[in-house]
């Protein structure tokens, strides 16, 4: 089992977000930014039902982490151990839900499992947790 094409593309999008912000590594907030910018209709719909607008979410994350980086280059930006685990756990989440390959939704659920990650903490401010997203995605 592996990530599907859209979920795999989140890796590149997350690196782009880290680069845009001048950060030296990809963390969970960059993965969440990638999801917010490139959300599937299913994720976007679930967030809207939970009263979370992706544009507002992007602004919130940008505001909370902007200015914390240096000028980004074009190099390949590595993933933090926490961000790496998010993608690994997404496969486990998909498997647990009986899905053949992990999709963007499973990456989002994996982010929410890691309650200490910045992404989960940001979503918590909106009242979004694993159970509420899973309920909206069903």
pLDDT band at 58 (very low <50, low <70, confident <90, very high): very high
- What are the pLDDT digits (tens) for 105-130? 999 999 999 888 889 999 999 999 99
Residue 16 CA to residue 35 CA, distance in Å, equals: 12
Predicted model pTM: 0.90
Name the burial class of residue 51, with classes exposed (0-12), middle (13-18) and buried (19+) by CB atoms within 10 angstroms of its CB. Answer: exposed
Give residue 71's pLDDT: 52
Give residue 73's pLDDT: 53
CATH of the domain at 56: 1.10.1780.10
pLDDT at 10 exceeding the cut of 80: yes
Q: Mean of the pLDDT values across residues 43-54?
A: 93
Q: How many domains does the chain have?
A: 1
- Side-chain-facing half-sphere of 120: CA atoms under 13 Å: 17
pLDDT band at 70 (very low <50, low <70, confident <90, very high): low
The parent domain of residue 117 ranges over: 5-137
- Are residues 20 and 32 in contact, defined by beta-carbon separation less than 8 angstroms? no
């Amino acid at each position: 089992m592996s990530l599907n094409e859209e979920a795999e593309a989140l890796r590149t999008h997350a690196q782009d977000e880290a680069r845009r912000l001048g950060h030296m590594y990809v963390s969970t907030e960059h993965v969440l930014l990638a999801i917010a910018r490139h959300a599937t209709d299913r994720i976007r719909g679930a967030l809207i039902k939970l009263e979370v607008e992706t544009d507002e979410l992007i602004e919130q994350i940008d505001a909370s982490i902007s200015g914390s980086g240096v000028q980004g280059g074009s190099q390949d930006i590595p993933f933090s151990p926490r961000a790496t685990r998010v993608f690994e756990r997404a496969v486990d989440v998909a498997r647990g839900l009986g899905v053949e390959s992990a999709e963007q939704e499973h990456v989002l659920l994996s982010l929410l499992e890691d309650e200490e990650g910045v992404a989960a903490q940001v979503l918590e401010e909106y009242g979004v947790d694993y159970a509420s997203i899973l309920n909206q995605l069903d």
